[in-house]
Structure 1
């Protein structure tokens, strides 16, 4: 491996780290300007993540759907597509998984996988339409997926109101045989909402890596994303690969929704707005450089910030909005990575 490739890989690792550092630093400056002590605030934030088994369990629980949403975005990006519809795919996956989990009463060995599969299929179906329109009519997937987020939100609410509603503005709770919740995991984390969906999220990371980098179809998907014309010249079916990429991406997002329905909540409420997990998945994928291991690590950061911000507000009096600002700054610096690359290249050449 030549020096240029080594430096390129090193800069790829440094950019997220530098982005996090700059986000935290500017967040600290904003806290000082607002009259808060950043040392006290960040200390409370870290205590809210690591100080107690409950917070650790909640952090891992928050990571679970973020990992899957991030994988959905990353998989599409690796195949040359921008899936901005992860939120909608997550919502329909959540509804489908809860419906199967509450409408059927089967042995767990059948019921739980079937409920997860229902979520994956619903998300895949929601990803199929923008993939088909992209492949058949060259309609840009960003526009279609954004619009389908709203269709998913209001359609899910309408279905719950018309057919599934019970007191509390929600669906029936799922049967225990379809639940990912675990008394053991909750007992060792001081009764947090940690569930076995975390294992599924880790398996999903392995699946994405294996499919993209260890299979012939994965090579085709990446090749089509890199250059459609060259792929077509090489004999690949570009249109079917575009559709397949969006279907797989949607399936990851649908499973993320299933984790919420079968693990965290056990039901689905009428949503007053988007859950936000799907949109956070875009940031997770961006910070994780659209790699499986990167998505896993960045989801830990985002999950930790979500959980730790509650402690920061309670113990340091810092508004949760400041944590949102820190997250936004991190994303900004990752998105502006070309600036960081320019600086590091100048440093490498010995002049800036």
Structure 2
């Protein structure tokens, strides 16, 4: 009888431990559900039917094979760029500069793809060259705030915000300038770069849709980043610096080196996102406003994913689905597509202020529970 009771107690204990390990996953899910509910209230207040609105949103995002492909394609830059931001989070660094790093990667890819670098080169070489150019462009631009923070103590948030502005103005000049002409396609009625060589284009996963192999690349990068963070010495140092830089220093780790490395690699990932969009886009060229909010939205996606490399994928797909289905929702349900931005903002609000979600859904923090061999696991449970 006693053994049976002990086995029962062990089972309950394991269930509770599992529940609290899943709390970081359940809170973002609850945040999304809460945002949808609040969004429904907004739709009702506007005199529309929320069920019809969300049904139209779903049809526009996942209602057909073409819609799914469009959603996946829309999600691709978000996956890679938010992975870049999440990588910085792991070291305790808030990389606001993904937007600028993405732009610099895209510009580098456009330059390599149009200035004769890949002319006459087979695709198996041309495509890696363009992606490598984006990686290097983002890496160098991401390394700037890393060096400044490590050597001078400059805050990465301030530095990366300024670098975003510089990248945006630089992109406008490089793309729009006629004298000297650098990247501008002089035959275009709307300023954009010269389309990259056909050999450097990423092939489509599904012909006739915008979905290209960049999506597979994005998923593979998530796997690589997870492996680096969880299965390598470098990843252990990154996580240690993020958790407690003083303890990392005491253990003989170089915090300065880790800061430079993380921000440079974070920039490299963002640069790949920009390069993949240039090489995988249907046009093969870059406009000054093409990535207006990708980098900034990626910060929100990384927060929603709690900086988990694998959680970044569904979070980015959700983001892409909202943007893809917004037009269908407006056409079929008569609800303004701006509601999508309201829902996105609410998701981030509830993720950031997770105390609200935890209170509504009674989700406890892992540190509020104390699982012991004696079965006393209810610290704060009834509060």
Task: Give secondary structure in 2 for the equivalent of 1:164.
Answer: coil
Output the CA distance in 2 between the equivalents of 1:203 and 1:309.
Answer: 28
Match of residue 223 from structure 1: 240
The Cα of 1:5 is off from its aligned counterpart by: 4.7
Of residues 99, 111, 115, the one that matches 2:126 is: 111
The Cα of 1:323 is off from its aligned counterpart by: 1.0
Task: Give secondary structure in 1 for the equivalent of 2:316.
Answer: helix
Task: Give secondary structure in 1 for the equivalent of 2:297.
Answer: helix
Alignment of structure 1 residues 1-352 onto 2, 5 Å:
5-103=17-115, 104=117, 105=119, 106-162=121-177, 163-166=182-185, 167=188, 168-182=190-204, 185-187=205-207, 191-264=208-281, 265-271=283-289, 275-342=292-359, 343-345=362-364, 351=382
CA contact (8 A) 1:11 1:341 kept: no
The Cα of 1:6 is off from its aligned counterpart by: 3.1
The Cα of 1:3 is off from its aligned counterpart by: 6.9
Are residues 131 and 93 of structure 1, via their aligned partners in 2, closer, same or farther at CA, if it must alter by over 3 Å? same
The Cα of 1:350 is off from its aligned counterpart by: 5.6
Normalising by structure 1, we get a TM-score of 0.94
- Report which stretch shifted further, 156-165 or 11-20: 156-165
Normalising by structure 2, we get a TM-score of 0.87
Per-residue CA deviation, residues 157-184 of structure 1 (Å, 9 max, x unaligned), is: 11223312122301110111110132xx
Rg larger for: 2
CA contact (8 A) 1:70 1:284 kept: yes
The Cα of 1:270 is off from its aligned counterpart by: 2.7
Output the CA distance in 1 between the equivalents of 2:17 and 2:123.
Answer: 49
The Cα of 1:274 is off from its aligned counterpart by: 5.4
Output the CA distance in 1 between the equivalents of 2:168 and 2:137.
Answer: 13
The Cα of 1:50 is off from its aligned counterpart by: 1.6
Output the CA distance in 1 between the equivalents of 2:111 and 2:304.
Answer: 34
CA contact (8 A) 1:55 1:192 kept: no
The Cα of 1:267 is off from its aligned counterpart by: 0.7
RMSD: 1.8
The Cα of 1:109 is off from its aligned counterpart by: 1.4
Point out the structure with the larger helix share.
Answer: 1
Aligned length: 346
